[in-house]
Amino acid sequence: MIEIFGQDKIGHISVGDIIRTVHRDLLDKKRKKELMDYLNRNYRGYISLEESINSLLSREAKMLLPTEFILTLIKREIDKMPEKTLFIDGFPRELDQISYSLFFRDLINFRGDSDIFVAIDIPESVIDARMKGRVVCPKCQTPRGLELLPTKEIGYDEKTKEFYLICDNPECQDARMVAKEGDNMGIESVRERLNLDGQLIDKVFSLHGIPKILLRNTIPVKIARKYIDDYEITPKYSYQFDSKTEKIKVDQKPWIAKDDEGQEIYSLFAPPVVVGLVKQLVDLLKLKK
């Protein structure tokens, strides 16, 4: 969206990013003071500010962050971009946050713009394959995948006869990307989260009086040719090592996965999904002439 409409019109707020940034700010004396000044003026909730901060700093323990605290942090981010259309990514994240999000626009006194829920439906097999194939750079933590999201440079380990990815970031000096612990379990390791996301979406879509958009990032194989071009489809890569020339041959073809009903589908790149979002927004906001 930002690529289409420009940075000056659209603001992207990711709740996950906010929490990581706040964690860093809390460890920096000057930034901590700024943050605490804001929180002291704006936070209101059942749990003390101090306890909320402690639960953020120790969040490895999977402790839930109090909703009122997250809301204050989102409000702080929104205060920085008053003139923009906002995408708040990763909120609501818990069932109790749905009611808050209904009145969020009024709570933060954010002009009178339309607010819309946007959910993205991704088949479990797609999430599973992406998780199982995921590798990360040990230096910059950028996630990639050998078959579904490779880097520019591929390496071949002659001892283990395995291909591997080399981080694109020049600062990482050709670091070899590695699998993350737990990812080989694939989707089962995030089953609880997925179940909760399913409940969240059901609940949000049962709401009255607020517009909703459901996006899919897939298209059934049997109708794909009518609507999309090859370059919009996520490809699956395969590799061969030619021992004579010592070169790696890269092959790609459209990746076919299955949706939750077992139907064959293609997974789409982000741009056609965003186009779908824009079309639905135009209809919802009655912008058509």
Residues forming the site for Zn ion (CB under 5 A): 137, 139-140, 167, 169, 172
Structure tokens at 138: 């040990």
Is the four-CA dihedral 142, 147, 152, 155 of positive or negative sign? positive
Q: Whose Cβ is closer to Zn ion: residue 167's or residue 224's?
A: 167
Q: Quick one: 97 or 142, whose CB is closer to Zn ion?
A: 142
| Nearer to Zn ion (CB atom), residue 15 or residue 165 | 165
In the complex, least distance from residue 168 CB atom to Zn ion, rounded to whole angstroms:
7
Q: Which is nearer to Zn ion, 14 or 142 (CB)?
A: 142
Least distance to Zn ion from the beta carbon of 178, Å? 11
Residue 26 or 179 with smaller CB distance to Zn ion: 179
DSSP string, the chain: -HHHH-TTTEEEEEHHHHHHHHHHHHTSHHHHHHHHHHHHHH---SS-HHHHHHHHHTGGG-PPPPHHHHHHHHHHHHHT-TTSEEEEET-S-STHHHHHHHTHHHHTT-TT----EEEEE--HHHHHHHHHTEEE-TTT--EEETTTB--SEEEEETTTTEEEEE-S-GGG-SPBPEEPTTGGGGGGGGHHHHHHHHHHHHHHHT-SSS-EEEEESEEEHHHHHHH--GGGBPEEEEEEEETTTTEEEEEEEE-EEE-TTS-EEEEBPHHHHHHHHHHHHHHHTT---
Task: Give min distance, CB of 221 to Zn ion, in A.
Answer: 35
Question: Given the complex with Zn ion, which of 139 and 225 has the nearer CB atom?
Answer: 139
- Least separation in angstroms between residue 131's CB and Zn ion is 19
CB of 139 to Zn ion, least distance (A): 5
Least CB distance to Zn ion at residue 107 (A) = 40
Q: How far is the CB of 150 from Zn ion (least distance, A)?
A: 14
CB atoms within 10 A of CB 25: 15
Residue nearer to Zn ion on the CB measure, 140 or 275: 140
